Structure 1
């Protein structure tokens, strides 16, 4: 295999692997609590689901992954030519690697729900959360809010 092709293949595989690792540590699920949510007071409200709309949640931006894609692209690009050609290849490879890493992150969408809930206090609220906890129209739910976040869970 030619060195340029091997380096490019290695770059793409590395960016894909790093992208997969990043999504393991981030969640917008109603059933997953962040460390900062622990031992915090959350207000509890009850209500009834009026509408459930399936939406897409865009992927997270991770500067470390973008930097990794940039570095790997630069390494792969530097194997093109010699002298100034190698330097130009490194710059172009770095730009392509960084843009590819960012594009992959944005494209890694998740299914989410936009939930419209009529609270027992008479308010109508809307919350978007990851679509991993089944919720349906007419269902009674519990709304937990605090620290600038809210989640809807089956009652």
Structure 2
């Protein structure tokens, strides 16, 4: 049973990390590989830090319930204790998963034609007001990529 508890805890830890990493300017989905993307040069007007919350999934609830069941099974062999500990474990897993977030940036950029965008992405590349950047992608899937000076 101890192995099941440790495995369940190990599975719960990376849930938010995996799902939140999709908002990185360095992260691409396989469908975006080898596909030409539109690139526009723009100037950064303003940058502010934001929090990007993890995607809502049922993984935390399921893993928490499994851990709770295993703990309840170790404490007593009665069904009531297993059910109660499963419910409490599931609620705890859901609450813990909801607390995961990543540091993000809300980046306001302006193209030479005056068009202005606000783009949110993970804070994994340095971007500052006044920087020249490339806006990569199309309307729903834009990235801000700093240009080398």
| Ranges in structure 1 where 5+ consecutive residues have no aligned partner | 1-5
| C-alpha spacing 1:14/1:107, structure 2 compared with 1 (3 Å) | farther
Q: Is the 8 A contact 1:79 1:89 kept in 2?
A: no
Deviation at 1:15, TM superposition (A): 4.8
Alignment partner for residue 19 of structure 1, among 9, 12, 21? 12
Q: Is the 8 A contact 1:78 1:88 kept in 2?
A: no
Partners of 1:65 and 1:146 lie apart in 2 by: 33
Partners of 2:10 and 2:57 lie apart in 1 by: 13
Is the deviation greater in 45-54 or in 60-69?
60-69
Q: How does 1:22-61 map to 2 (within 5 A)?
A: 22-26=15-19, 27=21, 28-61=23-56
Is 1:110 aligned to residue 102 of structure 2? Answer: yes
Partners of 1:62 and 1:131 lie apart in 2 by: 23
Alignment partner for residue 71 of structure 1, among 52, 60, 66? 66
Partners of 1:147 and 1:116 lie apart in 2 by: 14
Partners of 1:120 and 1:19 lie apart in 2 by: 46
| Ranges in structure 2 where 5+ consecutive residues have no aligned partner | none
Is the deviation greater in 58-67 or in 139-148?
58-67
Runs of at least 4 residues of structure 1 off by over 6 A?
Answer: none
Is 1:119 aligned to residue 111 of structure 2? Answer: yes
Please report the TM-score for the alignment, with normalisation by the length of structure 2.
0.82
Is the deviation greater in 37-46 or in 114-123?
37-46
